[in-house]
Chains A and B, each alone.
Chain A
Amino acid sequence: MADPMKIRANVVGDSTEVKVLMNHEMETGQRKDAQGKTIPAWFIQNVTATYNGKTVLAAQWGPAVAKNPFLAFKFKGGAKGEKVQITWTDNRGDKRTDEATIA
Chain B
Amino acid sequence: MNQIRWRLAAGVAGVALATFAAHAPGQGSTVDEIAKYRAALQDGNPAELWEARGEELWKRPRGPKNVSLERCDLGLGPGVVKGAYAQLPRFFSDANRVMDLETRLLYCMTTDQGMTDADARKQLFGNGNDRKSDMEAIVAYVTSESKGVKMNVALDDAHVREMYALGERMFYFRGGPHDFSCATCHGEDGKRIRLQDLPNLTTKEGAQKAYTTWPAYRVSQGEVRTFQWRLYDCFRQQRFPELVYGSDASIALTTFLARNANGAAFDAPAIKR
Roughly how many angstroms separate A30 CA and B222 CA in the complex, as a whole number?
Answer: 17
Roughly how many angstroms separate A33 CA and B45 CA in the complex, as a whole number?
Answer: 27
Task: Check A23 against B49 for contact (C-beta < 8 Å).
Answer: yes
Stretch at the interface among A47-55, A64-72, A73-81: A64-72
B209 at the interface (CB under 8 A from A): no
Interchain CB contact (< 8 A) of A25 among B4, B45, B52, B128: B128
In the complex where A34-B4, A67-B222 touch, is A21 in contact with B49 (Cβ < 8 A)?
yes
Roughly how many angstroms separate A33 CA and B46 CA in the complex, as a whole number?
Answer: 24
Roughly how many angstroms separate A61 CA and B180 CA in the complex, as a whole number?
Answer: 45
Interface extent on A, as a size class? 10 to 19
Roughly how many angstroms separate A25 CA and B130 CA in the complex, as a whole number?
Answer: 9
Interface extent on B, as a size class? 10 to 19
B123 to chain A minimum Cβ distance, whole angstroms, is 15
B157 at the interface (CB under 8 A from A): no
- In the complex, what residues of A have CB within 8 A of residue B8's CB? 31
- In the complex, what residues of B have CB within 8 A of residue A4's CB? 52
Within 8 A of A (CB), among B3-59: 3-4, 8, 43-46, 48-49, 52-53
- In the complex, what residues of A have CB within 8 A of residue B52's CB? 3-4, 6
Task: Check A21 against B44 for contact (C-beta < 8 Å).
Answer: yes
Task: Check A19 against B44 for contact (C-beta < 8 Å).
Answer: yes
* Nearest A residue to B49, CB-CB: A23
A24 at the interface (CB under 8 A from B): yes
* Nearest B residue to A70, CB-CB: B44
A100 to chain B minimum Cβ distance, whole angstroms, is 12
In the complex where A6-B49, A24-B129, A25-B128 touch, is A72 in contact with B4 (Cβ < 8 A)?
no
Task: Check A70 against B4 for contact (C-beta < 8 Å).
Answer: no
Roughly how many angstroms separate A19 CA and B217 CA in the complex, as a whole number?
Answer: 18
Roughly how many angstroms separate A67 CA and B5 CA in the complex, as a whole number?
Answer: 14
* Nearest A residue to B5, CB-CB: A31
Interchain CB contact (< 8 A) of B129 among A25, A32, A66: A25
- In the complex, what residues of A have CB within 8 A of residue B128's CB? 25
Task: Check B3 against A34 for contact (C-beta < 8 Å).
Answer: yes
Q: Which residues of A line the B interface, CB within 8 A?
A: 3-6, 19, 21, 23-25, 31-34, 66-68, 70, 72
Q: Which residues of B line the A interface, CB within 8 A?
A: 3-4, 8, 43-46, 48-49, 52-53, 128-129, 217, 219, 222
A-B contacts, 12 listed (Cβ < 8 Å): A3-B52, A6-B48, A6-B49, A21-B44, A21-B45, A24-B129, A31-B8, A34-B4, A67-B222, A68-B49, A70-B44, A72-B44
